[in-house]
Structure 1
Amino acid sequence: MSGGLVACAALLGGAAGLAALRVARRWTGRPASTRSGPAVGAVASAATGQPGRPVDRGGPPAPARAAGIGPSTGLGAAVVGAVVFAGLAVALGGDPVLPAFLGLAAVGLVLAVVDLACLRLPDPLVGAAALVVAVGLTGAALLAGAPERLLGAVAGAALCFAGHALLALLPGSRLGFGDVKLAAVLGLPLGWLGWSPLALGLLLPHLLNGVVVLALLAAGRVRRDTPLPLGPALLTGAWLATLTT
């Protein structure tokens, strides 16, 4: 692994973090009701005081503001992007699959900002993430002469989709189908890496989310019925699982 590669990845990640804030602005002003999932009604009611009304366009819904979560500052976004990209460069080195992971991370930064701001994972952004990683993995498979690895990626996506779809359909579940679709996309690179990273990528997001929820409850920042985003935990869990390779 080259130190220059890691440094370049960090600089690229910093720029991607700053760009994520700008790109996310076009999505954070739209009504949260466009995101599928059982939490939508609770978000709209909490933000407006009237059931069925969309979240105000001026910023994050009330639950997110009360919890102190929302779009990062420019410096914070740049630091997060640099750490994410550098970590991927350290884990994957000069592997031809690195560009696919970096591209997914760039779109993931935008998704994280949007989800933190207004509890949305817009389909066009999730679709863009799927396209980036699918094209990147296909290219890496052809370069490595190992097209069979794409089967593992597809299996990973299918397993992540099925597992999270079942969770979303459970009575009382707060998991939205935007989260389900993002989990399926993240299953592609995790399945490419193997069963161990895939298992970690399935487990870690829910552990991380549980820790965050408990910390916010203990601090009195949220109530037990406050809707909170899962997208950042899904992305962070996938990133941490990748670092184990």
Structure 2
Amino acid sequence: MSGGVSTALLTALAALWGAAAGALLPRAAYRFSVPSGEEWRAACPGRHPVTGWLGRARCARCGPAEAAYASAAPVIFATALVCAALAAATGTRPELGVWLLLGPACVLLAVVDLRVRRLPDVLTLPLAAAALVLLGVAALLPEHAGDWLTALYGALALGGAFFVLFLINPGGMGFGDVKLALGLGAALGWYGWPTLVLGAFAAFLLGALYGGALVVVRRAGRKTAIAFGPFLIAGAFAGVLVGAYAA
């Protein structure tokens, strides 16, 4: 099998994995999408109990028109696309397994933050721990293309930088972003400091472009707060792709 065919097959398999993982996210996204300080959702819009965290956001007791209380298609498509892109960039290196596990979690975080401007601790802190542990395992395997110590330093550096920004302007930078930066800093740091800088820069650039566009179309003012988590995730995604291709 040629290298090109092998990469295509790997990308297709990763896309299937992403679609399957994405299909499990809508219920969790619905339950986590509540304002800060509120309990996680335990009922559908028709007030029927919602049990479990993984699977479709669909109620068997609601009428046909109300049964699906959250759309699954965008989440499935986004997760499949993210996993396919990571596989195409990383190839058969062992860290691909880490990216395929962290990718769906990042999609879930982005969805929740977009909906309610909240990054739950029960997602961000395990993400940071999982990133460091899984990358530590990948570092023990042959043909890996990163460095675990730099991943650790990257987590501390990006998390520390965001903590400083939080202290300077708590209204503009949430503490959830600080905790998210730990895990994403580890992923970016795996491929080195230039990748970390690139991912951070891309996050702020994307956030600035989005905020500027909202101001131009008069949907927000200069001081309107926006959810930064999705842009931090998108920037890290771009950085990891570039780092993986360059490794």
The verdict on a shared fold, with TM-score over 0.5 as the criterion, is yes
- After superposition, the Cα gap between the structure-2 partners of 1:58 and 1:28, relative to the gap in structure 1 and judged at 3 Å, is farther
CA-to-aligned-CA distance 1:60-92 (integer Å, 9 cap, x gap): xxxxxxxxxxx9842222221111111100111
Whether 1:162 aligns to 2:160 is yes
Q: Which residue of 1 aligns with 2:25?
A: 20
- After superposition, the Cα gap between the structure-2 partners of 1:127 and 1:158, relative to the gap in structure 1 and judged at 3 Å, is same
CA RMSD of aligned residues (A): 2.5
| In 1, Cα distance between equivalents of 2:29 and 2:108 | 6
| In 2, Cα distance between equivalents of 1:3 and 1:230 | 33
- After superposition, the Cα gap between the structure-2 partners of 1:151 and 1:215, relative to the gap in structure 1 and judged at 3 Å, is same
| In 2, Cα distance between equivalents of 1:165 and 1:19 | 32
Out of 192, 204, 219, which is 2:202 matched to?
A: 204
Q: Which residue of 2 aligns with 1:32?
A: 36
| In 2, Cα distance between equivalents of 1:82 and 1:171 | 36
CA-to-aligned-CA distance 1:120-175 (integer Å, 9 cap, x gap): 100011122123222211111111388x9221111101110111111111146510
Q: Which residue of 2 aligns with 1:49?
A: none
| In 1, Cα distance between equivalents of 2:181 and 2:44 | 29
Out of 8, 12, 16, which is 2:13 matched to?
A: 8
Whether 1:127 aligns to 2:125 is yes
For 2:124, the aligned partner's letter is V
- After superposition, the Cα gap between the structure-2 partners of 1:142 and 1:12, relative to the gap in structure 1 and judged at 3 Å, is same
Shift of 1:103: 1.1
Verify the 8 A CA contact 1:72 1:113 in the aligned structure 2.
no
Would you say how many aligned residue pairs link Structure 1 and Structure 2?
Answer: 211
CA-to-aligned-CA distance 1:200-237 (integer Å, 9 cap, x gap): 11111110000011111212222333321111001110
Whether 1:234 aligns to 2:225 is no
Q: What is the TM-score normalised by the length of structure 2?
A: 0.78
For 2:121, the aligned partner's letter is D
Shift of 1:20: 2.1
Verify the 8 A CA contact 2:215 2:221 in the aligned structure 1.
yes
| In 2, Cα distance between equivalents of 1:234 and 1:172 | 17
Verify the 8 A CA contact 2:95 2:135 in the aligned structure 1.
yes
Shift of 1:102: 1.4
Verify the 8 A CA contact 2:132 2:152 in the aligned structure 1.
no
Higher relative contact order (CA 8 A, sep 6+): 1
For 1:237, the aligned partner's letter is G
Q: Which residue of 1 aligns with 2:66?
A: none
Out of 91, 96, 99, which is 2:97 matched to?
A: 99
- After superposition, the Cα gap between the structure-2 partners of 1:115 and 1:216, relative to the gap in structure 1 and judged at 3 Å, is same
1:144 partner SS? coil
Verify the 8 A CA contact 1:107 1:128 in the aligned structure 2.
no
For 1:152, the aligned partner's letter is T
- List gaps (5 residues or longer) in structure 2: 1-5, 46-68
Runs of 4+ in 1 over 3 A off after TM superposition: none
| In 1, Cα distance between equivalents of 2:169 and 2:143 | 45
For 2:77, the aligned partner's letter is V
CA-to-aligned-CA distance 1:35-79 (integer Å, 9 cap, x gap): xxxxxxxxxxxxxxxxxxxxxx999xxxxxxxxxxx984222222
| In 2, Cα distance between equivalents of 1:222 and 1:6 | 39
Identity of aligned residues (%): 38
